[in-house]
Structure 1
Amino acid sequence: EDGGVSLAKGVLTVSLHYWLSCGSYGVTNKAYKFRKEGARYRLIGLDVNSYSRSTGMGDESSINYLTGRKSVTSGVVVMEPEDGPKPAPPKISWSRIGKQRFYLDSMDRKACDDYESSPNWCRE
C-alpha cells in the first residue's frame, strides 16, 4: 500500500509513495514498470499520480516507453467535495515522447541532477 516491489505476468513493478505533511497536503505515487529483456529489465512504463489532500484534485500521467506515447490527465477528482459545485470533468491530452530504452541496471539518479538534460523518467 505504501510502495513496494511486485512481479506479475512478467512485469516487475517498483512502486513509490510520497506523502507530505506538516503544512503540506501533497501525495505522489509512482509505478515504474519493467519487463525482462534478455538478462536485463527494460523500463516499459511509468505511471504517476499526484493530488492535494486539501482540495481532492490531482493529475495523472502515464508513459508507455514501448510505443513512445504519454497521456496526461488533469483535474482528476480524488475526493468529491461535500458541498458546493461539482468539479469539471478531467481533461486528457496525449503526446509523443519517442521510443526510448532505459534499463534497471543502468538507471542512475545522478543523471537527474541536471533537469534540462535528464531522461524523462527523472522528471515525472
Structure 2
Amino acid sequence: MRWGWLLGSAFVLAAPSAWAELRIPAVRYPGLPAQAASAEGFVPAGWRLESQVADDLNGDGRPDLVLVLRQQDPANVIRNDDGLGENPLDTNPRMLAVAFARDGGGYALVLQNHSLIPRHDIPTIDDMLEEGGVSVQRGALRVTLHFWANAGSWSMGNTTYTFRWQNGRFELIGFDSDSVMRNSGASESLSINYSTGKVKRTVGNMQDDKETVTWEKLPSPRRWTLDEVADGSAFDPLQAR
C-alpha cells in the first residue's frame, strides 16, 4: 500500500479488501540497448514507445531523447469483478529512459528506470501518468504524477519532480506538490528547492481563497538521484537522510 505525498504526506489510502484478491503479475524488466540510431531502437520486444521528448539535457546543444516505454502484455490486463474502480485494469508497467545524442550520430543510453512512474495496480486510483506528464523545461527533466481516487480518499492533486543532469547523474533539484480535499476544500502545497535548501509550505481553503505561507530549511543536505527517489508516489521529500 502506498503512502501519499498529498496533504503533508499524511494521507493513507484505505484499501477495500477486494484489492487483495487482484493478482498483479510480476514483471521482468528487459535491459535496453546501450546505443541506438533512433528512439525506436531502444524499444524492446513486447513494449511500445508511449511518448518521447527531444531536447537538450546535458548542455551540448544537441537534442537528447526522453522516452516513456510501456509493456504490452495481455496477461497484465486484470479483470476486476468487484465493481469498484476500473475494469479491466491495465497494469502494464512503464520504463523511463534517457539517451544522449552522440557525436557521430545516434544516441547513447544514460538512464533506464522503472520505479519512479508507479505501476497502475489499484483500480480505484487513476493512472498517475497523464499525457504530457514527462517533459523537459529549461534543460531539466520533469515528471508530473497526478492523483485522483474514486474511493478511499477525498484528496486530489499533482506532484512534480525536477531533475538536472549534473555530477554525471540526474539529481533531484525540485519537488512541487499541490493537493485539495474535495470534501472540505482544504488545500496544501509544498515546494522544495534542493539547490538552495529552501522549503515553502502553503495552506489554504478553496472556499475563502486565504493562504498561509511558511518557509523552512531542508533537514538534510543530501542530494537525491532519480533512481534513489524510487517509487514517485511514496517518496518522502523531507526525509532527513
Q: TM-score range by the shorter chain?
A: 0.7 to 0.9
Q: Which residue of 1 aligns with 2:212?
A: 91
Contact 1:67 1:99 in 2 (8 A): no
Once residues 88 and 17 of structure 1 are traced to their aligned partners in structure 2, the CA distance between those partners, rounded to angstroms, is: 23
Deviation at 1:121, TM superposition (A): 2.0
Alpha carbon RMSD of aligned pairs, Å?
2.5
Q: Which residue of 2 aligns with 1:40?
A: 169
Q: Aligned residue pairs: how many? A: 107
Tell me if 1:121 matches 2:208.
no
Q: For each residue in 1:14-44, what CA deviation from the matched residue of structure 2 results, as whole angstroms up to 9, or x when unmatched?
A: 1101102136421031000001114311100
Once residues 65 and 76 of structure 1 are traced to their aligned partners in structure 2, the CA distance between those partners, rounded to angstroms, is: 27
Residue in structure 2 matching 1:52, options 172, 181, 186: 181
Once residues 178 and 145 of structure 2 are traced to their aligned partners in structure 1, the CA distance between those partners, rounded to angstroms, is: 11
Q: Which residue of 2 aligns with 1:11?
A: 140
If the length of structure 1 is used for normalisation, what is the TM-score?
0.73
Q: For each residue in 1:48-101, what CA deviation from the matched residue of structure 2 results, as whole angstroms up to 9, or x when unmatched?
A: 111112233310010111111101000142xxx4xxxxx262000000014331
Q: Which residue of 2 aligns with 1:107?
A: 229
Report the 3-state secondary structure (helix = DSSP H, G, I; strand = E; otherwise coil) of the residue aligned with 1:33.
strand
In structure 2, list runs of 5 or more residues that go unmatched: 1-128
Contact 1:68 1:100 in 2 (8 A): no
- Higher percent of residues as strand: 1
Q: 1:49 is aligned with what amino acid? A: D
Once residues 10 and 57 of structure 1 are traced to their aligned partners in structure 2, the CA distance between those partners, rounded to angstroms, is: 34
If the length of structure 2 is used for normalisation, what is the TM-score?
0.40
Question: Share of identical aligned residues, percent?
Answer: 33
For residues 20-39 of structure 1, the aligned pairs below 5 Å read 20-22=149-151, 24-39=153-168
The structure that has the greater radius of gyration is 2
